[in-house]
Structure 1
Amino acid sequence: MNQSNSRASRIRRKASSNTQFHNDTADPKNGLNRIADKPATGPAGGSTTGPGGGQRRIMLGRLRILSAGVFLLCLMVIARMAWVQLVWGPDLSSLAAEQRTRIYTDPARRGAITDRSGQQLAYTMQARSLTVSPNVLRRELPYVAKQQLASDENYVQGSEETRNQMIEAKVADIMTEYSEEIPKIIEKARTEKQAAKATKTVTGSTKGLKDAAKKSEVKPEDIVAKLKADSNYEVLVRNVDPDVAAGISEKYYGIAADLQDVRQYPNGAVASNVIGKISQDGQGQFGFESANDSLLSGINGRKSIEVSTDGQAIPGTVTDDVPATNGANVTLTLDLDLQTYVQQQLEQAKANSGAKSASAVVLDAKTAQVMAMATSDSIDPMGDIKKQLEQGKEFGNSTISAPFEPGSVAKIITAAGAIENGVTSPDEVHTVPGSIDMAGVNVKDAWDHGPAQYTTTGIFGKSSNVGTLMLAEKLGEDKFDQLLTGFGVGRATGIELPSESEGLLPQRAQWSGGTFANLPIGQGMSVTLLQMAGIYQAIANGGERIAPRIISEVRDGHGAVVAQPEPERTRVVSEETARTVVNMFRAVTQSDSSGLQQGTGSQAAVKGYQIAGKTGTAQQVDAATGAYSHSKYWITFAGIAPADDPRFVVALMLDNPQRGVHGEGGQSAAPLFHDIASWLLNRDNVPPSPPMEGQLVLQMQ
């Protein structure tokens, strides 16, 4: 009974306790407080208020902070990655590609220049330049020295100080070896090459060939100076044969053999006034090389390739592969053999006559192609340029850039106008006084004479200024002005060369009374030697002037012929007039023992051939007075050979000669014409002219 009661009592207390709990939690006033009074439980239902509960609460807080930090860090990393990929990605990718990419340039080969028969005038030869980085070499040579001393017992067993001294001595020996042995190797190779050339027949492409490398001696002291230079790049030697350079580069540590294109001018000074030269960076500087630089130079190729960190090319990564387009090969109208002969004759004539300079132009009479265009004192582009400039030599081409008053050689214009317009006939006799007044200007002949009976042919054969002006007056100023224009006076010819002068011709509206007293006798205007040759070419070509040209053919880098524009053609006078004038001007070269029927240029005659031409003597302007000088002259001659079947036109000019071209008395260029025309007619096996019937009548007794 007591036990039952006791059990029932416990059950009621338990129920009461449970009821009280639920009532407490439902009490809006006390529920929260009572809950707070209950013991705290941990994650597993354990209490945190008991022993160790505070530590667990701190750890839990830290864990939550750490979790939040990791979450934020991950979020930042993800955001950063997104930024790098989406924003920086393209730029970084491009930068990486640039770091891996190497761009290689494939240099275009400069085109060759040859004469009309294919003989080389200029071409490009592959060579090498021996180069070094002095600063790098001096840092690395001690390591090279250590390797060479590795088998030396004194070095191996020596103290550190001894080894350092041996390394320094070894480096000095290596430097000495570089400076002494490299020049010896190069000189030996050059000597052997020259000896091999000397055994060849001097014909074709080997004629006049020079070794560009021999122009400068390799000196040991120069090598030493460059090896000791405070520099990251020095050229030790230029123009080294590729095989020799490769051997030196392989034998001597730190020496590189860089590719170098060397422009060769195998004929030295011959035609250098026409060809010109290029600079060290490969650009045309003078002459044809300059005027046609873009045509000759071509277009460099290029390609991009990616490389690994050790510099090796990555297969399959070549992009932007553009092949080089080599420069065009150009064939000129020049005749190298003729050019060589003419240039030699000019040098001799200058020396013999004491002239300041001498020049010549030879044209094909039918095509106006320039066969020779020579000047004295031309520079050898393969020689010491500075030294030659000091000697008065030059790259200029005075035949197109230095106009001068032609003098009587231009009287052929007046003659052509008079015949073309029916003013006179070759055999008409004129009473020519010793002087003439034209618009207040008194003009005399070069020799004193009273009234003389000259034929029209004789007026020009004797070179009478007075007779020429008499015919010009009948022709009239307007027609004469038209003739000057037709013959190309005062206009550039358009030759494919730089620095061509137009010459000087007063505009018709600017003529004064004295102008017409000068122009018909070759004064008061200036022409280049090429323009003067063009006047005679028009007469020799049946009255049609063709603009002179020096390009015969152009082939592009692929070998295809590049069409060239046709030269301008101008009908100046009729064929009949031209033929008549050519026959009249044979009188200039006619000889007569009595002197009565002798022309002013008899020394130009060539045995077996009919020659037509005209002498000229023009006063130069005295710089001090501004008036015509009585001691300084331009001496000229222009002629056609042969006159019966014109093949060649030769025009010559001597600047202020003191004697004849052979050192004889007088100041005539006629003998020089004889020498050049004779050589040319003989070389080309031109058939002799039919004998002339009697003499031309120049003067009536």
Structure 2
Amino acid sequence: MTEPDPRRRRDPSSISRARRYTPRGRTVREAASASSEDNRARENGARDREAARRERNRAAEGAGADEAADLAAKRRREAAARSRERRQRDTGTIPTEARPPSRPTATRRTAAKSEPVRRTGTVRATPAKRTGRGTVGAQRRGASRAAGPSPVRPQPRLPRLGSPSRRLRMASAFVMILLVLSGTRLVQLQVTDSAVYAAEAMNQRLTTEPLPAERGAILDRNGNRLAYSVESNYIAVDPVMLKGDPAELAGRLDRLLGRPASELEPILSTQSTPQGEEIRFAYLQRGVDLAIGDEIREMEDPGLIIGDDERRVVPGHDLAANVLGFTGEEGTGLAGLEATYDSWLRGTDGELSYERSQLDGLPIPGAFYREEEAVPGKDLQLTIDADLQFQVQNILETTVTEHDAEFGSALVMEVGTGDMLAMASTPTYDAADPFAVDDEEAYRDYATQATVDPGSIHKAIVFAAALEEGCIEPDGTMPVAQTINKGGVDYKDGYQHGDAILSLAGIIAQSSNVGTIQLADCIGKEKLYEYQLAFGLGAPSDVGIAGEAAGILQPPELWSGTSYGSVPIGHEGTATIMQMAAMYGAIANDGVYVQPTLVDHKIDANGDPVEQEDPAERRVISTETAKDLQYLLQAPIADETGTGHNAQLEHYHLAGKTGTGGLVVDGEYAPGNVTSFVGFAPAEDPQYVVAVSVYVPGGGGGGSTTGEAFKEINEFALGYFGVRPATEPAPVFDVWG
């Protein structure tokens, strides 16, 4: 019996059943069931793979590096094979027999796809799709068999995965350590070391500048300012804040400040002391003009500090310069009255402290600011008369120039008060520019600081003592030889008179050495020494000049054989011309010694005079002796044989004594003579003491060298102060007994 055509053997529901098949031979229900099964298989496979992976990781951790690499490569090959099979199975290109026996889950999933379960419970083979060239399934299967399995390419080696939890723990620990360190540091900064750092920060911003006190003025007896201070600027530097190049700035500032750049550059560039401390303030120049300060301010360098200062002005320049002295750059008195009365004139400096910006050097608004005001210095009024001082200086300069003298001094002192009306010295200097001198000897005040053998002007002490002790009467006479020997040395008179009888006026007029030595022998060395001390020799006069010399006075126990001849005539001892002027002032003041003074009074901050102690006074000789001596001391000028006859002044009677002494330099007498003339006027009523002394290396006599200067100074002083001329003619002396 012939087999009927299968295509015609269809049950009534064959079409509807066919419609329920998918194009791949499955019904929709079967496909859905297979898809769910496949998903479950995938999930199970994923779990299996994950478990296997963990097992392999644990094995790999214990194995060596090569075994781990092989195991990883094997896993990649297996994964690649499974992926390839899955793709082929999904596309239907691998028959059920080709599935590997080791994967039962995959076999069941493939069988379900190849042999779908019909509703009747029977299973039949899925017919292959037909095309014009044959079935698709056959071609695909044939191609698959011909091609064989695809080669598996090795995957790149993946990096070893870390442990996130461990990384998190390490990061947390690191953060905690940072937080602990930061907190500890904050506690240290805010609690433990806060004061230290705050102080250090304050010091970096804080600038302290001095506020110089205005120095008091020095006035003459009439209120004229001899020295005073004016407003100026100081230029300083903060090297830490300096922006410009120190060498360049020094080159720009040298012209303005009058200091070489080689001196300025080290100050500008040195930022710390040898001990390591920062230098925040250093003077470059003080007392500069305000215009220069403005010019430097325009440089706009925060490291340059321009502050208020004061500058000393001496309008008379060299007028009484050796008396006034001068100040240094810091405003401290260095010589003369400026040094002696420095604490009174200087006052008390103030101080300004404030915080400065590190950018522009300007004060920080609202920041720390403290100002201690300066206390100005107080004034000093002298006894010097500026007009008389000017005239006396000119006369002294002329005398020194005409006689080729090396130095000299001239004084005018008021009798009775001890006020020094004029004190001139030469050489001198410009007190307004005191450091522009070639020789520092120009600073010396020769009236108080130069000690010389006084020579014959010392004889007035011997005459006063002889009269006071009764060795001779004012009109008495005594035989005087031409020479006298003391200690093996012959002392002789300069005036040739042979063996003669001389009156006391003659001994004084001719300045007889022999007659003076004879009078000293009558007095005795002990008594003569007492008179020397009483007249102020051997001690400074304390007139007010810093560095005043005391001179040398030989006590009796140190006298040698020649001392009996040398001491009475002004040798073997030294004195200043100031001491000799005070001695003659005592004679002119009726025998009362008055301490010389330069300061009339001090002036306080309110401009009121401060009470001064009266000058020290002491009686040395009696008034009668002083009057007699005032008369006798006219003889050297009035008598034709007198040593000072060239000092005779018309309309006035002068009294005085010439002297010729020596200058000791390095323990030896220098060549030449120190010539002098000391006296007072008017002789009948003494008002002023005048003293002139010059050192002439070429030699010369006291009268011939200084007589003219003595006369001119007296003439100007008597006329300047309005002293009436004498109404009686000059006395006539009988010098010969």
The alignment's TM-score, normalised by the length of structure 1, stands at 0.70
Q: Check if 1:534 corresponds to 2:582.
A: yes
**Amino acid in the other structure paired with 1:327:** G
Q: Check if 1:420 corresponds to 2:468.
A: yes
Please state how far the C-alpha of 1:339 moved relative to its aligned partner: 1.3
Please state how far the C-alpha of 1:440 moved relative to its aligned partner: 4.1
Tell me which residue corresponds to 1:318.
Answer: 369
Question: Conserved in 2, the CA contact under 8 Å of 1:103 and 1:305?
Answer: yes
Q: In structure 2, how many angstroms separate the alpha carbons of the residues matched to 1:638 and 1:322? A: 53
CA 1:354–1:113 in structure 2 vs 1: closer, same or farther (change >3 Å)?
same
Question: Conserved in 2, the CA contact under 8 Å of 1:107 and 1:324?
Answer: yes
CA 1:286–1:384 in structure 2 vs 1: closer, same or farther (change >3 Å)?
closer
Moved more, 500-509 or 666-675: 666-675
1:640 corresponds, among 672, 680, 685, to: 680
CA 1:680–1:66 in structure 2 vs 1: closer, same or farther (change >3 Å)?
same
Question: Conserved in 2, the CA contact under 8 Å of 1:658 and 1:667?
Answer: no
1:356 corresponds, among 403, 406, 429, to: 406
Tell me which residue corresponds to 1:154.
Answer: none
Q: Check if 1:604 corresponds to 2:647.
A: yes
| Mapping for residues 127-146 of structure 1, pairs under 5 Å | 127-128=232-233, 136=243
Question: Conserved in 2, the CA contact under 8 Å of 1:298 and 1:557?
Answer: no
Q: In structure 1, how many angstroms separate the alpha carbons of the residues matched to 2:604 and 2:547? A: 25
CA 1:362–1:86 in structure 2 vs 1: closer, same or farther (change >3 Å)?
same
Q: Check if 1:123 corresponds to 2:208.
A: no
Structure 1, residues 336-357: CA drift from partner, whole Å, max 9, x if none?
1111111111111112122222
Q: In structure 2, how many angstroms separate the alpha carbons of the residues matched to 1:589 and 1:609? A: 11
Structure 1, residues 244-294: CA drift from partner, whole Å, max 9, x if none?
753x46777669866453322211222111122223343333322233333
For structure 2, the 5+ residue unaligned runs are: 1-53, 55-162, 271-281
Tell me which residue corresponds to 2:659.
Answer: 616
Please state how far the C-alpha of 1:76 moved relative to its aligned partner: 5.7
Please state how far the C-alpha of 1:308 moved relative to its aligned partner: 6.2
**Amino acid in the other structure paired with 1:498:** A
**Amino acid in the other structure paired with 2:396:** L
Larger Rg: 2
Number of residue-to-residue matches in the alignment: 558
Please state how far the C-alpha of 1:693 moved relative to its aligned partner: 7.5
Q: In structure 2, how many angstroms separate the alpha carbons of the residues matched to 1:669 and 1:554? A: 35
Q: Check if 1:682 corresponds to 2:730.
A: no
CA 1:557–1:644 in structure 2 vs 1: closer, same or farther (change >3 Å)?
same
Q: In structure 2, how many angstroms separate the alpha carbons of the residues matched to 1:450 and 1:306? A: 89
1:304 corresponds, among 320, 341, 353, to: 353
Q: In structure 1, how many angstroms separate the alpha carbons of the residues matched to 2:347 and 2:674? A: 42
Q: In structure 1, how many angstroms separate the alpha carbons of the residues matched to 2:587 and 2:621? A: 8
| Mapping for residues 453-472 of structure 1, pairs under 5 Å | 453-472=501-520
1:294 corresponds, among 334, 343, 349, to: 343
Tell me which residue corresponds to 1:381.
Answer: 431
Q: Check if 1:395 corresponds to 2:443.
A: yes
Tell me which residue corresponds to 1:3.
Answer: none
| Mapping for residues 64-463 of structure 1, pairs under 5 Å | 79-128=184-233, 136=243, 241-242=289-290, 246=294, 248=295, 259-306=308-355, 311-315=362-366, 317-319=368-370, 321-382=371-432, 386=436, 388-389=437-438, 394-463=442-511
Moved more, 476-485 or 274-283: 274-283
Q: In structure 1, how many angstroms separate the alpha carbons of the residues matched to 2:538 and 2:445? A: 18
Tell me which residue corresponds to 1:21.
Answer: none
Question: Conserved in 2, the CA contact under 8 Å of 1:406 and 1:616?
Answer: yes
**Amino acid in the other structure paired with 2:644:** G
CA 1:94–1:337 in structure 2 vs 1: closer, same or farther (change >3 Å)?
same
**Amino acid in the other structure paired with 1:106:** L
Q: In structure 1, how many angstroms separate the alpha carbons of the residues matched to 2:654 and 2:327? A: 41
CA 1:316–1:645 in structure 2 vs 1: closer, same or farther (change >3 Å)?
farther
Please state how far the C-alpha of 1:482 moved relative to its aligned partner: 0.3
Moved more, 446-455 or 92-101: 92-101
Question: Conserved in 1, the CA contact under 8 Å of 2:453 and 2:570?
Answer: yes
Please state how far the C-alpha of 1:528 moved relative to its aligned partner: 0.7
**Amino acid in the other structure paired with 1:87:** T
Moved more, 514-523 or 557-566: 557-566
Tell me which residue corresponds to 2:537.
Answer: 489
Q: In structure 2, how many angstroms separate the alpha carbons of the residues matched to 1:308 and 1:443? A: 82
Structure 1, residues 645-678: CA drift from partner, whole Å, max 9, x if none?
21111111121265889xxx97342221110000
Q: In structure 2, how many angstroms separate the alpha carbons of the residues matched to 1:239 and 1:265? A: 13
Q: In structure 2, how many angstroms separate the alpha carbons of the residues matched to 1:523 and 1:228? A: 56
Q: Check if 1:499 corresponds to 2:550.
A: no
CA 1:293–1:449 in structure 2 vs 1: closer, same or farther (change >3 Å)?
same
Q: In structure 1, how many angstroms separate the alpha carbons of the residues matched to 2:376 and 2:516? A: 55
| Mapping for residues 11-26 of structure 1, pairs under 5 Å | none
Moved more, 607-616 or 226-235: 226-235
**Root-mean-square deviation over aligned CA pairs:** 4.2
Q: In structure 2, how many angstroms separate the alpha carbons of the residues matched to 1:241 and 1:620? A: 44
Q: In structure 1, how many angstroms separate the alpha carbons of the residues matched to 2:434 and 2:169? A: 88
Please state how far the C-alpha of 1:435 moved relative to its aligned partner: 2.0
Q: In structure 2, how many angstroms separate the alpha carbons of the residues matched to 1:226 and 1:460? A: 61
Q: In structure 1, how many angstroms separate the alpha carbons of the residues matched to 2:263 and 2:658? A: 59
**Amino acid in the other structure paired with 1:640:** F
CA 1:101–1:366 in structure 2 vs 1: closer, same or farther (change >3 Å)?
same
Q: Which has the higher contact order (CA 8 A, sep 6+)?
A: 1
Q: Secondary structure at the match of 2:659?
A: strand
**Amino acid in the other structure paired with 1:649:** V
Q: Secondary structure at the match of 1:520?
A: coil
Moved more, 305-314 or 633-642: 305-314
Question: Conserved in 2, the CA contact under 8 Å of 1:352 and 1:659?
Answer: no
Q: In structure 1, how many angstroms separate the alpha carbons of the residues matched to 2:565 and 2:451? A: 20
For structure 1, the 5+ residue unaligned runs are: 1-51, 53-57, 142-175, 187-212
Structure 1, residues 349-390: CA drift from partner, whole Å, max 9, x if none?
11212222221121111111221111222112345955x527
1:653 corresponds, among 693, 697, 700, to: 693
2:623 corresponds, among 567, 571, 575, to: 575
Q: Secondary structure at the match of 1:512?
A: coil
Question: Conserved in 2, the CA contact under 8 Å of 1:273 and 1:396?
Answer: yes
Moved more, 129-138 or 611-620: 129-138
